[in-house]
Chains A and B, each alone.
Chain A
Amino acid sequence: MNALALYGRYIITSLRAQAQYPTATLMLTAGHCAATSIEILCVFALFHRFGSVGGWSFGEAALFYALVNIMFSLADLLSRGFEVFGTDFVRTGAFDRVLLRPRAAALQLAGYEVRLSRLGRLIQASIVLVFATNLVPITWDARAVAIALWAVAGGIGLFMGIMVLQATLAFWTVDSLEIMNVLSYGGVQAAQYPLNIYAAWFRRVLTFGLPLACVAYYPVLAILRRPDPLGAPDWLLPLAPIAGFAFLALSFVVWRTGMARYASTGS
């Protein structure tokens, strides 16, 4: 069975396990939906009080918010094993079990658990997307949809890369540390506002360091057919999401050094 088919098997297995507790799963999904909705409240309150900022209205900001949260929720859904790697695998020694199987450890972790409750964020982000579409004139033609999907794919890559880095760190710290939340949740927080409102140094971080702008800001400009107020060329805007995949590839390089370390310390 090839890796992709096996991954599919893992996902089905995980869903079947959760289907044993339907009420709990539903409640958690609802709770997660509510818990992740508070950020849009914050965005709304700020726009309500200050009016538009950096040439963006609340509706447009909501579009950023929705897209970023959609990517993050899907990545979150697919990389649970990396997120809990420290507490559930390294600390408990369950990672030994993973290593005893003749498959790439990363594949087994990716397939560890697909938590349906994480759909809560996806649901609320989709609702916000519908609202945003009503608040600002977006034409969802084939081009816009294609860019959006491409951006979401790049964003999933980027956020998965962050979770792989988080898991890698656990090789050193044993626990799953919240420090990587800086990049994941902190990234969501930063990327749900348009890039041009930030100071120049922070814009550079978000473009070249942790390329969140490449999967959110630039493609949204392309969807809205707006030129970049900061002067990025128009042709670059729809291409930018590729940075997300580059980030994921880089994360796996780092992951390999972590694996090597685990083999020499065993803890």
Chain B
Amino acid sequence: MTTRAARPYLAAFRARFQLVLQYRAAALAGFATQLWWGAIRILVFAAFYGVNAAAAPIGLTDVVTYVWLGQALLALQPWLADPEVGQAVRSGGVGYDRLRPLDAYGYWYVRTVGWMLARALPRAVLMVLAAAIVLPLVGLDDWAWRPPSGVTAALLFIPAFILMTMLAAAVLMLANIIVAASLNERGVNAVLAPLVIVFSGSLLPLDFYPDAWRPFLHVQPLAGLVDIPFRIYFADLTGNAALRGLALQAGWTLVLIALGRFAMERMMRRLEMQGG
């Protein structure tokens, strides 16, 4: 894509990013919430590890890092449809989107990425500060967010992070389209949130669920949102296993984008027929 062609998409991304950044109080509040949530979850894990650490699939320090990483990047989880989409459909703003000489899916997609990153970025920075820097400084090393386990893990985490963002946006786009088509935002969110929280590994790393569930849990699309990238981060997935993880993320991202484009075209055609 040439710069000229990319311009409107970049502008859409930047505008959305800037707008969300304005909500300072929301960012601080979100951060405090996530800090506390992380703390509670670590306390619970610690209690169970204290009884029978041998039964755990990964070590306690890795679980702690997993929790902090998850809290820092919570806003990248696609568990709420973009509220602007519902508003745009209700207000008829979607009609304007069709008047723009742009690819509608691409336009919404970049806006969604902008929305997610803008909410995630300030919180992630604060979380690094609190969990990776302040905690070790006050002597709580054991409960701190550790840096990636080695250079390879760090390098592999970069594509894993990009893919997790792209995958999350693709999931969210599907949700957005369903919201736009059904106008039932609450209903979509009510279904989406638990699915994402459980199957991404947000609630628990996927290996904590009963062993019999593993074959399914490790190939479903949502694993690429949390479980795969995070395990790459602390080198629980290395070598071929890590590459397989990246491939799974990339594959599902492409599938979901294709699905989203298809659904969007159908929806737009329906909106045109209704003249809405």
Contact = CB atoms under 8 A, between A and B. Distances in A.
Q: Is any CB of A less than 8 Å from a CB of B in the complex?
A: yes
Contacts of B187: 24, 27-28, 31
Contact of B36 (A24, A46, A52, A182): A182
B90 to A, nearest CB: 15
Interface string B171-214: 00000000000001011001101100110000110001110000
A45 B208 contact: yes
A88 interface: no
A53 interface: yes
Given A179-B29, A181-B33, A48 B210 contact: yes
Contacts of B209: 45
Contacts of B43: 190, 198-199, 202
B33 A182 contact: yes
A42 B203 contact: yes
A206 to B, nearest CB: 10
B32 interface: yes
A24 B184 contact: yes
A49 B56 contact: yes
B102 interface: no
Nearest to A36: B194
Contacts of A179: 28-30, 32-33
B262 interface: no
A34 interface: yes
Could you say which interface size class chain B belongs to? Answer: 35 or more
Interface string A144-180: 0000000000000000000000000000011101110
Interface in A183-226: 186, 189-190, 193, 197-199, 202
Contact of B23 (A24, A41, A175, A193): A175
B30 A50 contact: no
A8 B128 CA distance: 49
A226 to B, nearest CB: 18
B130 interface: no
B52 A38 contact: no
Nearest to B52: A50
Interface in A65-123: none
B20 interface: no
A51 B47 CA distance: 12
Contact of A51 (B37, B52, B57): B52
A182 B47 contact: no
B51 A173 contact: no
A190 B67 CA distance: 15
A51 B55 contact: yes
Could you say which interface size class chain A belongs to? Answer: 35 or more
A181 B191 CA distance: 20
Contacts of B40: 186, 189-190
B48 A41 contact: no
Interface in B16-31: 23, 25-26, 28-30
B94 interface: no
A52 to B, nearest CB: 7
B60 interface: no
A193 B44 contact: yes
A229 interface: no
Given A51-B55, A190-B40, A45 B194 contact: no
B84 to A, nearest CB: 15
Nearest to A34: B194
B46 interface: yes
Contacts of A37: 194
Contacts of A130: none
Nearest to B41: A189
A144 B92 CA distance: 56
Contacts of B55: 49-51
Contacts of B204: 42, 45-46
A34 B198 CA distance: 12
B190 A35 contact: yes
Given A41-B203, A49-B210, 14 more contacts: A24-B187, A27-B184, A35-B190, A45-B209, A49-B57, A51-B51, A51-B52, A53-B51, A54-B51, A182-B36, A189-B37, A190-B40, A197-B44, A199-B43
Interface of B: 23, 25-26, 28-30, 32-33, 36-37, 40-41, 43-44, 46-52, 55-57, 184, 186-187, 190-191, 193-194, 197-198, 203-204, 208-210
The 5 nearest A-B residue pairs measured at CB: A31-B190, A197-B47, A179-B29, A177-B29, A182-B36
